[in-house]
Structure 1
Amino acid sequence: MSRPPRIEPSGDVVERIGSIALSLPDAYEEDAWTGVRWRVRSKTFAHVLVAQEGYTSAYRDVTGVTEPTTVLTFRASGDELSALVNAGPPFYRPPWSPTVVGMVLDDDTHWDEVAELVTESYRFCAPRMLRQRLGR
Structure 2
Amino acid sequence: MADYPDVPEEFLARVRTRCAGLPEAVEERAWRGTRWRVGQRTFAHLLEVDGGKPASYAEASGLDSGSVLTFRATGPELVALSIAPHPFFKPRWAANVVGLVLDADTDWDEVGELLVESFCASAPKKLADRVDRPA
Per the normalisation by structure 1, the TM-score is 0.90
Q: Distance in 1 between matches of 2:39 and 2:61?
A: 32
Counting only pairs closer than 5 Å after superposition, residues 112-131 of structure 1 correspond to structure 2 as 112-131=109-128
Q: Give the counterpart of 1:6 among 4, 7, 10.
A: 4
Which segments of 5 or more consecutive residues in structure 1 lack a partner in the other structure?
none
- Name the larger-Rg structure: 1
Which segments of 5 or more consecutive residues in structure 2 lack a partner in the other structure?
none
Identity of aligned residues (%): 44
Please say if residues 45 and 125 of structure 1, whose CA atoms lie closer than 8 Å, have aligned partners that are also in contact.
Answer: yes
Please say if residues 90 and 98 of structure 2, whose CA atoms lie closer than 8 Å, have aligned partners that are also in contact.
Answer: yes
SS in 2 for 1:133: coil
Counting only pairs closer than 5 Å after superposition, residues 24-103 of structure 1 correspond to structure 2 as 24-53=22-51, 55-66=53-64, 68-103=65-100
Q: Distance in 2 between matches of 1:83 and 1:26?
A: 28
Q: CA deviation at 1:64?
A: 4.0
Q: Distance in 1 between matches of 2:51 and 2:128?
A: 38
Q: CA deviation at 1:65?
A: 3.0
Alignment root-mean-square deviation, CA: 1.6
Q: Distance in 1 between matches of 2:83 and 2:71?
A: 16
Q: CA deviation at 1:132?
A: 1.1
